[in-house]
Structures are given as structure tokens and as C-alpha cells.
Structure 1
Amino acid sequence: MTTMPRLTGAALGVLGLVSTGLGLTTPPAQAQPVGVPLVNETFTGASADSRFEAFGPACLTGAPEATAPGPGTHPLTGCPPNATGPVPPNDAAPNGYLRLTDASNDQSAAVLYNHALPANQGLVTTFDQWQYGGTTNPPADGISFFLIDGAASLTAPGAFGGSLGYAQKLPDDDPGEEFLPGVNHGYLGVGLDVLGNYFGDWEHRGNGCDNRSPAGTEFRIPAPGTNMVTVRGPGNGTEGYCFLTATTDNFSTTGPWESTLPGQLHGPTTEVPADATPEEAEALLEPSRRTVTVEISPAPDPVLTVSIDFHDGNGTQQVLSSPAPQPVPDTYKFGFAASTGLFTDVHLIRNVSVHPAAELPQLNLVKQVSQDPAPPAVYTPGMEVPFEYVVTNSGNTPLSDVNVTDDRVTGITCPKTTLASGESMTCTGTYTVTAADGRAGSVTNTATASGDSDGTPVTSPPDEVTLPVTPGPSLGIEKSADTTQAYQVGDEVPYTYTVTNTGDTELTGITVNDNRVTEITCEDTTLAPGANTTCTGTYTVTVQDAQDGSVTNTAAAQGTTNGTTVTSPPDEETIAVTAEPSISLKKTTDTSRSYDVGDEVPYTYTVTNTGGTELTGVTVTDNRISEVTCQDTTLAPGASTTCTGTYTVTTADAKKGKVTNTAEASAENDTVRSDPAKATITVKTACKDTYGDYGDCEKEYR
């Protein structure tokens, strides 16, 4: 599908208009649970699905007692002892609960499912909730169930209190206080609001929205929406989370706003004895159980429906139906939150089940762009697009060899290759926007998932994303080196960098930065659109490289246009470095003069351990020098030693006019040998002028 635009602040305000109470026609809800469950967690045991993360004091009463967790998110563990209020006993598996809060003051808790689920066929979520046993009158605050854009991260709830962990909040409407954000990229927040403040826009709930709550922004006692199911729409940060609708017949700005719920969200349980068994506690809590179903039917005309079974003999009753906000995200993540303040309650959750609202294909794929960080409105060449591929096994059999292919993205990685029935996973891949995409004005790429079911290949329907692209200023870089050989310690590796202006504006101040190469020089530092230049640099292989077996270095080009720095996507190159024992020899002497017969010529030999292991028994042999001595005969990797020897010029050398001698270094009983090293000196032949031939010259020296 084509990527839908994400919601802006203005759009968030407009979405406040889609409310049943504003007189708009509400189509009938069609969503019903279909197929295998995507999530199915009872929270009755000593542990829970590890994909749920706790926030604040959320804990499992079925698990053994544990110490109170610290702030932020953490795994779900047991509850601490000495809770306030009529809570179910700890260590109670298989009769446990997810306890969001006990009845103490000022608690904020949530449980978060930070794993994307497909939204293309809608979603039906059912759960049991308990709100009861408060130590104050009225009880408070409530429980929220919320959905966010599954391309965003769900690592924390929104603000608590009247915002119920979904919406934003400026505490007490005090401008001196910190403005607390709502949940990241929220899509829909259903408040099961016992106290009633989630209904109103006090404390800047719905900030930036065109349509406001009927109760307005003022503080009200009592709270305006007691025993109310209130729905708030999309938001991000401190903007949005607009009031959409609620279970009331009064959408005017004049209260009271009476709830039309056919029962009480707050349960009648007031006591659970401290010595009650898990089974006894369960029986005492049964009258306070409420089963809630939140349904969103598939696009293009999604409908939100909320139904509740108060377990009063009347069965499940639809309490609210309203057009769902659009655009609908490609995927969802979800969570539950609850809080207490001056007023308190016990808040429990059980039996969470999530199904698609319409049938999914056996293997379903949703492709989306990650919202963390927020993507640009328009891409330019060189930008990287972080794609996510949400793969779901919607069939009744496990799938193996699950993978994703994309016609433009290579190197897609998945956390696993097998999927159980109903299981989802998110794979990732990155696409770099090209200059051709900029010229075309957009880029569309298509992906499919495939797997194997008991020997039968299974392929998902394709899913595509189209992104707008403008040429803009951009750079490209291609880095190269000779990768056909294995290098040794001390080798100098020449690198070539081809830098291209892939944008539509001139770039100046072209440079290349490499994490291992310094002093890179470029032939040109100003590039017209489409032009390129060649830059060069050299790297010297180190001992550590030999021990690692390779060197990978990364480079990026930079340039400037109108005061803005433009950086290319990085490019890397890997060369192999041998760790085998090796040795090198460099032989030198003074070759700037001519020597006479009888002169002693000193030679210097620099021997280097170019391998990755220590060398012993280092020696140098020279075909003309009988005694070469070395300062050191043991060399660590990368170490060098200096050896010396002397040669006496002969008459025979004078006849030839020069002397060339060849040397080799060796170690480890001659099993490690260097390449030969030669040196040539010039010898004077003046005797030829006096005697006419070299034989007479020999007589002169007798």
C-alpha cells in the first residue's frame, strides 16, 4: 500500500470532529474477531509473554513476591508485599492478575506491548478489567486502553492523572510546571473513566485541537465524565489527543454530562481478606469484573466500536460506535495504563486477546517507514530510509525459512526465521535515496515475505511504499582499494574516493573524512551538479589489523551550499590482512658516490616482523657479505631491528663498474623468509685510461 501521511497538528485538531455526539452519521460496526489470535495473554500465571513490558508498579500477582521495581519500563515480575487495599494475594498462579495499581495514593502504572501488529484488516482487542476497592470517595482514576502507530516506539505511556496514561498534561494548568507529553505517536485512547476527568480538557488535554471537549478546559468538581467511556484521537508530544466521543447523550457545553453506560465501571468489591486463598479472592472479585471489547474495522472506512459485558446477566452490550480516525496506521502497538492520586482504586487486568477483525492472508506483510526518528516530509538523494517489515503468520501451522525480499532494499534482517501460528516479527532494511529518485520525484519499492509450511511454499501479498523525493543538494561517494591481495603489517594501502555531486546545486569545500585515513587530498573541491572528483589517501597496516585479520574503514564526503553542510551516505571498504608469520627486509647504503678498489662499503638492513606472531632467530644473509650482525634476533609483531655488514670493493668490481648484492632476512630456522632486497653501488674504472685494459690495472695493485 502507499504510505499514508502522518498526522500534523492541524490534522489532529480536525479529527476531533469525528464524534458520534456531534450528530454525524455513524455506520454500523462490522468488526468481529477472525482467525488465530495475534496476542493471547491471561496474566494468571507466574510469568507472562515477555513482549509485555511493565511501567511503574505494574506487576503479576501470580508470581512470587518481589521488591518494588524502579522507575521506567522493566520486565513483568511479582508484586511487592504490604499492598494497600483489597488486592488479590501474591504468588497465586494459576489464579493471578496483572495488577496495575493497588489502592495507595499517587501511583502511575502501565503495561506496554512494543511489538507491531498488522492493521490492514482491523483489530479486535478483548480484556477483563477490575476497578474497585478504593480507599477514598470518589474512587479514581480509571484504566485506559490505547493504540499507537506501530512504526513508532512504545517505551513509555503518556501523562497520568486525568490523562490516564494516554494524553498530554500540564499539571494543574500551571504554566510553571513541566508540560508532560502524551504517548508517542498515539492513535486512539479509550478511557474507562471511573472518576471522569479524561472527559474534560482541563490541564491542556487536547492542546492544539480545533474541537474541544463539551466540558471545556476548566477544572470541575465533581469531574465532568464520571463512569464514562471517553475516546481521544491521535496525538504526539504535547499536541493533539483530541476529544472524539464518549458514552453520553449530551454533547453541548452545558452540563451535566450523564453517562449512558448500562452499568458501572467501578465494581462493588470492598474487601479481600489478607488470608484469602487465590480461589477465594477470585470469587470475591468476580462481581467487579468487566469484559471490554475494542474493535476497529478495516479501512477504508474504519469504525471504532466499544462493547462491555458487566456480567450482570445482560451479556455483552455495545456502548459506543464512532468513525475511527484517519489515516489509519499501517500497524498498531498497544498498552494499558492506570493511576491514582488523591483518590484511589485497585486496577487489575486479565485475559487480553487480540485478533484481526477480518481475515489475514496465511502470511501477511506490512511495510512501513520507522517513525523513530520522525521521517522528513520529503526526501532528498543520499538520505537513508529505515524500512520496517511486519511479518505475521496468520495460519494454523508454523512457518520456517521466513524471509523478506524488497525490489530496492538489500540486506534485510529479521530477528528469526520461524514463526509460530499467530506470531509476528519486525524485519528491518535501509534504502538510500538516489539522484534518479530525485529526478523522478518519488520512489516506490515493493516487498514480499515468504516461508515454508510443512514443505509447502507460502508467499505474502506484496506491499509497497511510495515516498516523495526532491533532488536537493546531495553527495555520493565510492571508495575503492585493491582487495584482491592480503596485506601485511607495515604495508601502505592506497585508497581512491570518487565523490559525485548527485544534487541540483553547486557544492564547494569538498572534503573526504575517513575513520582510518588522514591527509586525504582531492583533485577538485568545487563540484557542479553531476560532476565528480577523485580523492586519494593512504593507510598503513598495523599489528592490530593483522591480529584482526582485516581492516574495514568508512568514509563520507562533505560539501557546502548556501552555508548548509551536505554529507554523503558513508561507504566502506574491507581489505584482508594476513596474520601468518612474515618478515620484510629493506637494504640501504650510500649510492650517491663512486667507490675505489679496496674501499669498505657499509650496508644497513632494516628487518621488520610484518606478521601477526613473534619471530625468533632473525638473521640476514647477503651473497657478497659473509658477516651481517643484527641488534635483535627476536621481533614482536610490527617490531623492527637494524642489521649491519661491510663489503670491500675488488678489482673485479672495478672491471664491471658496479657492484650489486642481494640479501634476504629469515627467522624461525629459515622457515620464514623475506623477499630479496638488492642494492647497487658504482665502482671507479680510472685504471683503464693508464694501462689500456683491466689486466694492467690488476698489476698496479699487486
Structure 2
Amino acid sequence: MLRMTRKRRSSPLGGPARTSRLAAAALTLAFGVGGSLALDAGAVAHAHAQPRQGGTTLVDETFTGATAPEFTGVGSACLTGAPTAALPGPGDHPLGGCPVGVGPVPPDDAAPHGYLRLTDASNDQSGAALYNHALPASEGLDVTFDQWQYGTTTGQIAPADGISFFLVDGETQLTRPGAFGGSLGYAQKLPDDDPTAEFQPGVDNGYLGVGLDVLGNYFGDWEHRGNGCPPGERSPAGTAFHVPAPGSNMVTLRGPGNGIEGYCFLTATTSNFSTTGPWPSTLPGSLQGPTASVSGDPVQAEADLEPSRRRVHVVITPAPDPVVTVSIDFNDGTGFHQVLSTPAPTPVPPTYKFGFAGSTGLFTDVHLIRNVVVRTERPLPRLNLVKQVRQPLPGDLTAGSQVPYDFVVTNAGGTTIENPAVDDPKITGISCPVTTLAPDQTVTCTATYTVTAADVAHGSIDNTAVATGTSGGGTVTSPPSSESVPIERAPGIEVEKQVETPGPYSVGQPVTYRYTVRNTGGAELTDVAVHDDHVTGISCESTTLAPAEEPGDSTTCTGTYTITAADGTAGSVTNTATATGTADGETVTSPETYQTIPVGQPHLTLRKRVVSSGPYQVGSTVRYAYDVTNTGSTTLHDVHVADDRVATVTCDATTLAPGQSTTCHGSYQITRADIDVCTGDGSGYGTSGHGTDDGTVECRITNIAQAAGTDPQGNTIASEPASATVTVEAEPECPLRPGYGEPDDKGCDRRTRHGGH
């Protein structure tokens, strides 16, 4: 249930940090100075595809203006439509103006002719734009956007990385991209495959990463891309470092991942899926554009950039058999070409969030985005609701845990909906951020639910919600949306112990114990065993226990103990047992259980405890409990407790059969005399006091009790004494002061202020 994030560091070839000297030298050898990299466009014919229409528009952002308030920038991402501004610091930030760019970048302050600039053409740049608002996934997704990659300042050696479009589970807070460089802001990586480097995680709870990969490292699993993926989901290029990069001018898809696990290779636009290269691209055009210079005039800049524009179309059809299709218009007059079509990862999340990322490193290019339109693949209902739990959850759920919910509400109709609201019979206080919902607008309402004991017992939180509103004087209601949140109980085990052999008990007698062991947690337990400090050779009917919510979650174990002469002398034998099991490789141990049986003679035991809570001072009442147990073999009458400070002690029962216990009760009020004894009478402190820096004294008041009863022959049977101590903080009659002198007005000699411990 828990979803973790990890720290990120710098990157490798093509990423925000410079490549290792070894990699740089290898690239120089491969390309030479002023050399060129040939791109194989492939000879496979592709069907033309046009963007589908008919779905519900969810996002429409041109990025041509000075603001894009629904998006969050990371790193070098900025808007050329806004006035020139300094580069923001690390972390995420609102999208604003760009710093003066390196290379042929569009002019700044150019609204309404601006662009989302992920990077300029300088080295070691990385930028991302994130849409951290959940969008419904039930009717599929249809995304189009324009991208530009052009303008390298590193000559013909190699282009920079590429651009990624990625989707994440909409329950996630999308506040950062994944690793840059060859991972294109989506996948994980271990920089330069250096085992001493820090692993950089991929984007949190990634679902699909579309790599529009000009350089070609996103195609390969070098740097531990796809870490933890099975052999059938690995790149054909393997994990080796390739010079040049193994998949240049390639579209590569990577699947779900989180942290440093997953982001497995799905497919790519290559004609070779064997493990022996090269791996030529089948794209019918180049992802990198030819633009080498851009005018400072915003309108002329658009014309200069037009030859480098590529329009990308990504479609994911709805579950249960989703298919992802990628089509590209290379702006060469031939229209869209479907370049990839493959089954999409399952299960499909209930909602999506998305982002774009691009980076430079040793090599450079400008990376731009414009005209992002996100629609559903099929139309949504007039009013649509998706209910989901916001991740990450606050650890293991228990009674009292707070669970945050999001309710994603979309107006898929042609008229405004007034007073949108969400009704959930289990969750109250649902708050929606708007009072009117415009056509094609999606908002997220929120609420927090407190887990109950009944939810824990049930093993999940199950409920259904509907969204409502009014339009044209009528009520609009969404289809219901249900959510079931499993409550995975932590591993747990408990043991109950019983004596099978009836008494009375005597020295040399074998006594059989029965132990009932239960799985009280949510994980299977193996290697179940019972450990007893007196009994050896305990055997169990079963050593594997199913989780508590399944049948067969308990077993019976037995063992035998022979009473010794020492037990006879003591008058009883007390043994303590625990049960253990293994869950997910970890040992689970039960609380201790103990049992006392009488052996051969009368015997009484006493345990005394303080049951009131401090702090205590003069006048406070201290309440005591006395646990009295007949640990002998005969019934005792007239059971009572005497306490050297408590005048009256009352017992719940005064007759105890062998093995029976009772609790007695008494109280004592702290007096000034107790403090005087503690602090002394002016000539120094008593041994039970301790002076503190502020002049007060911590006095420890101890009282001693003893239990007694009468056996059938009239003999008095007494327990060993038991004591209890409380600490009282008080100011003595003669508070601490340094120095000596005459008695003060209280008759306190100043010598007593010296701190005499």
C-alpha cells in the first residue's frame, strides 16, 4: 500500500550532469570530430492515422500565452510567452518567463506566440511540465501535442536526448519527473552504471512512458533502466553501454514503475527485436527538426520553427483490453503515420495525470511543446465521477487512520452545471473547489475519512458516491463510482495456554499443557512454533497459518512438564510461553502468556501496583491495586491485604480456590509529614529525597504490603511482601538557598539550603 519516493542525483549521457570521461572518449572515437550520425528512417510502410474526435475534452492548453496555471514547471521549463525571467531554483515552480536562452530559441515576451520551452540548447539542462490534476480513464485517452527538437550547438556529433510524454496513476501527487538523461524524465537510472552512485528513481507510480527519443538511450536498459523487470520485458539492446546510442530516432514505450523498480521495455519503432544490433528505426521521418536559426520577431519565429514541428498523437483505448497507439505527423505533407500499436499495461488506473520532459547533457538541442489537447477516447456521461484514494496512504491502516479521498468530477455536457456536489453515504464533509462547472471542465473535490474498527474487522473500506448538480433548472446526476480500499493488517500471532492435567499436583508428576496459536494478522505465517521456559519438545498440529480473515487460522500445540522438587519447595510452578511464526521473511512473536499451578502445599502470592496517575503532590490520593493469587494446592479463606500506609484495603473476593486470583484496592493521601520526612527537619534532607535545580524536592514514598489467608486447618498463609513507590515533587518548608546564616522567619537555617543530598 505504501508508495515510496527516493532522492535523485545527477545523470549520465545526455542527462543534466556531464557524462563520465570514459563515455565522452568513447563518443569521440565513435563519431570523430565534426562527424555525423546517419539516421535510418526504415522502409516499413505505415498506415496514415488522424486524431479521433467524439470524446470529451479534458485539457486544452496551447502554451502560447504568458501563463499556464494548470501546469507545474520543474527545472528549466518556462514559457517564452512571458517576459524574460531568471531561471527558477531546484524543485517545482509555477510556469513563468524564461531566462535568456542559448541557441536558436524563440523570443521571450512573445504572447500570443509563445511556447513551453523545456530546455534551450545549453549543456546540462533538464525541464518538465506536470499536470497534477486527475483525469478520468474509464473512457480511454486521446492526446495530441506539437513538439520541436532542433538547434544543437554541438555540431554534427550527436543530438540531445529527446522528449517524453508520460502518464501516471492519477491517485499520485505528480510533483516531480523521473530521472533525466537516457531515462527522459520517466524511468529510473543508476548514473553511468556506477555501483557507488545513488540510484535515481523514476516518476512516482508511472503507468506509461512514451519516449520520442532522438539520441536513443531510452531504448536501452543501460544504467539499470527497467531495474527488476523479468527477461521478457527487457530491451533488445540489453544493459550494455552502446556507442552510438542503441535506438536513435526511435519511439520507445516503457510500462508501469515506481521508485527504482519497473519501467519495463514494452516495444519500440525498430525492425530488429533480437539481442544483436544494430536496431534501426522504422520511423518514416526524423524526430529532430532542421531549424538552425530563429528570428527575434515572434511571428517570423513561428515560420522559422514550422519545418521542425512534429505533431504527436497518442491514444489509449478503454479497459478491459486497452491498446496504446502512437501516430506522428512529420510535417512533410504526408499526414499522420501510425508508428506503434500495442496492448497497453493493465490494470488501467481509474484516473491519469501526465507530464512532458526533456533534457540536454553533453549534447544539446532546444526542446519545445505546444498545443496540448487531451480528450477521452469515448464520450463521458453528462456528469462523470471517479472516486479514488489519494496516495500515498498514511502507512498501515488501523482504526483511527485518516484516509484522503479525491472525487474527480467532469462536466461532459454543453451547458454549465451549477452547485456541483458529491454525495457519499460513508464520507462526510466533501469539499468542491467551485460552485459552477463549465462544459469540459474537470475539478477534484476532496474529503478525509477516519477508519473505524468495523472497517478493520471487515478488511476494507467499501463505499459508493455520486456527483450531482443542476443545469437548466433540472438535476444532473452522475453514474455511481465505487472504491474499495483494502486494509492489510500487519502480521500478528497470539497464544493461549491451558493445563490439560487436572490437579492437585505433586513432585514428579507429569503435567500436559495445551497451547492454542492464532494468526491475528493479514499475512500467512509459516514455521509456527511455541516456546515455553519450562516445557520442551512442544509439537504443533500445523506449522502454517492462513491470514486471520481466512479459515484455518489457528492450531493446537501440546507439551509436557514434570514437576520438580524445587517446584515443591516453592509451592508452585509458573511457566511463560510465546508463539512465533515467519511472515515475509520476518519473525513475528506473540505477547507472553503465563500460568501458575500449585504444588503440594498452601501458597499465596501478591503483586502490588499503582493505578492512579501522577504527578503527585501534598494532598494527592494514590490508588493501589493488589493482585492476590492462590498459588498453592488448597483453598484459602479470609484473604486480606495489610499495607503499612493504607488503612483499609478491600478485596473483591476473600476465598480463593487453588489457582484463583482476586484484586484488592486501597488508597493513601499524601501528607505534609511525608514531605517533611523526605526533606528533613532543618538539619538536612532525608534519604528518600532528591533536590532539584529549581529548589523543589523529589520525594519517593514507598509503602509495603503483605497478603494473608487461612487454610482449612486454620493456619495463616502469608505472601512475600510487595512494595510500590511514587515520586512526589514538593517545595520543602526550608527551600534550597546557597550560603549560611541565621535562621529565617520560618526558622530555617540557611545551611539547609546548601543542597544536602
Q: State yes or no: 1:59 paired with 2:81.
A: no
Partner residue, 1:317 = 337
**Pairwise CA distance, 1:59:** 1.1
Which of 451, 468, 475 pairs up with 1:457? 475
Superposition misfits of 4+ residues, deviation over 6 angstroms: 5-9, 28-31, 470-474, 503-513, 519-524
**Cα offsets for 1:294-344 (capped at 9, x unmatched):** 111111111100000011111111110010001111111100000000011
Partner residue, 1:18 = none
Partner residue, 1:229 = 251
**Cα offsets for 1:420-465 (capped at 9, x unmatched):** 1111111222233333334434442000111111222111100111
Which of 476, 484, 488 pairs up with 1:466? 484
Q: State yes or no: 1:72 paired with 2:128.
A: no
Q: State yes or no: 1:414 paired with 2:432.
A: yes
Name the aligned partner's letter for residue 82 of structure 2: A
Partner residue, 2:318 = 298
For 1:154, what is the secondary structure of its paired residue?
coil
| Separation of aligned partners in 1, 2:451 and 2:622 | 27
Contact 1:41 1:353 in 2 (8 A): yes
Which residues of 2 match residues 21-170 of structure 1 at below 5 A? 32-48=52-68, 50-81=69-100, 83-136=101-154, 137-170=157-190
| Separation of aligned partners in 1, 2:76 and 2:326 | 27
| Separation of aligned partners in 1, 2:339 and 2:253 | 12
Partner residue, 2:458 = 440
Partner residue, 1:262 = 284
Contact 2:83 2:108 in 1 (8 A): yes
Contact 1:229 1:247 in 2 (8 A): yes
Which residues of 2 match residues 165-564 of structure 1 at below 5 A? 165-210=185-230, 211-273=233-295, 276-373=296-393, 376=396, 379-469=397-487
Name the aligned partner's letter for residue 88 of structure 1: P
Contact 1:29 1:305 in 2 (8 A): no
Is the alpha carbon distance of 1:399 and 1:257 closer, same or farther for their aligned partners in structure 2, counting shifts above 3 Å?
same
| Separation of aligned partners in 2, 1:301 and 1:7 | 26
Contact 1:439 1:471 in 2 (8 A): no
| Separation of aligned partners in 2, 1:309 and 1:29 | 9
Contact 2:49 2:338 in 1 (8 A): no
**Cα offsets for 1:42-63 (capped at 9, x unmatched):** 1112222x11011111111111
Is the alpha carbon distance of 1:436 and 1:37 closer, same or farther for their aligned partners in structure 2, counting shifts above 3 Å?
same
Partner residue, 2:26 = none
Contact 1:435 1:471 in 2 (8 A): no
| Separation of aligned partners in 2, 1:188 and 1:103 | 27
Is the alpha carbon distance of 1:205 and 1:310 closer, same or farther for their aligned partners in structure 2, counting shifts above 3 Å?
same
**Cα offsets for 1:507-550 (capped at 9, x unmatched):** 9999999xxxxx999999x9xxxxxxxxxxxxxxxxxxxxxxxx
| Separation of aligned partners in 2, 1:8 and 1:324 | 24
Contact 2:418 2:469 in 1 (8 A): yes
Contact 1:99 1:347 in 2 (8 A): yes
| Separation of aligned partners in 2, 1:298 and 1:521 | 69
Contact 2:138 2:319 in 1 (8 A): yes
Contact 2:2 2:395 in 1 (8 A): no
For 2:422, what is the secondary structure of its paired residue?
strand
Name the aligned partner's letter for residue 462 of structure 1: P
For 2:377, what is the secondary structure of its paired residue?
coil
Percent of aligned pairs sharing the same letter: 66
For 1:351, what is the secondary structure of its paired residue?
strand
Higher relative contact order (CA 8 A, sep 6+): 1
Partner residue, 2:750 = none
For 1:199, what is the secondary structure of its paired residue?
coil
Partner residue, 1:601 = none
**Cα offsets for 1:262-300 (capped at 9, x unmatched):** 110000111124xx3111111111010000011111111
**Pairwise CA distance, 1:243:** 0.7
Is the alpha carbon distance of 1:360 and 1:424 closer, same or farther for their aligned partners in structure 2, counting shifts above 3 Å?
same
Contact 1:7 1:234 in 2 (8 A): no
**Pairwise CA distance, 1:414:** 1.9
| Separation of aligned partners in 2, 1:521 and 1:175 | 62
For 2:306, what is the secondary structure of its paired residue?
helix
For 1:162, what is the secondary structure of its paired residue?
helix
**Cα offsets for 1:627-678 (capped at 9, x unmatched):** xxxxxxxxxxxxxxxxxxxxxxxxxxxxxxxxxxxxxxxxxxxxxxxxxxxx
Unaligned regions of 5+ residues in structure 1, if any?
A: 10-27, 475-502, 514-518, 527-702
Is the alpha carbon distance of 1:212 and 1:473 closer, same or farther for their aligned partners in structure 2, counting shifts above 3 Å?
closer
Contact 2:461 2:486 in 1 (8 A): yes
Contact 1:29 1:304 in 2 (8 A): no
**Pairwise CA distance, 1:6:** 9.9
Q: Report the RMSD for the aligned CA atoms in angstroms.
A: 3.3
| Aligned positions, number | 466
Partner residue, 2:39 = none
For 2:244, what is the secondary structure of its paired residue?
coil
| Separation of aligned partners in 1, 2:202 and 2:375 | 26
**Cα offsets for 1:374-412 (capped at 9, x unmatched):** 765xx5444333221111111121111111111211111
Contact 2:56 2:380 in 1 (8 A): no
Contact 1:33 1:123 in 2 (8 A): no
Name the aligned partner's letter for residue 224 of structure 1: P
For 2:437, what is the secondary structure of its paired residue?
coil
**Pairwise CA distance, 1:506:** 9.1
| Separation of aligned partners in 2, 1:229 and 1:179 | 25
Is the alpha carbon distance of 1:473 and 1:84 closer, same or farther for their aligned partners in structure 2, counting shifts above 3 Å?
closer
| Separation of aligned partners in 1, 2:611 and 2:319 | 49
For 2:118, what is the secondary structure of its paired residue?
strand
**Cα offsets for 1:167-191 (capped at 9, x unmatched):** 1111101111111111111111000
Contact 1:46 1:96 in 2 (8 A): yes
Name the aligned partner's letter for residue 227 of structure 1: N
| Separation of aligned partners in 2, 1:435 and 1:510 | 31
Name the aligned partner's letter for residue 289 of structure 2: G
Is the alpha carbon distance of 1:404 and 1:521 closer, same or farther for their aligned partners in structure 2, counting shifts above 3 Å?
farther
For 1:172, what is the secondary structure of its paired residue?
helix
For 1:198, what is the secondary structure of its paired residue?
coil
Is the alpha carbon distance of 1:356 and 1:301 closer, same or farther for their aligned partners in structure 2, counting shifts above 3 Å?
same
Contact 2:324 2:342 in 1 (8 A): yes
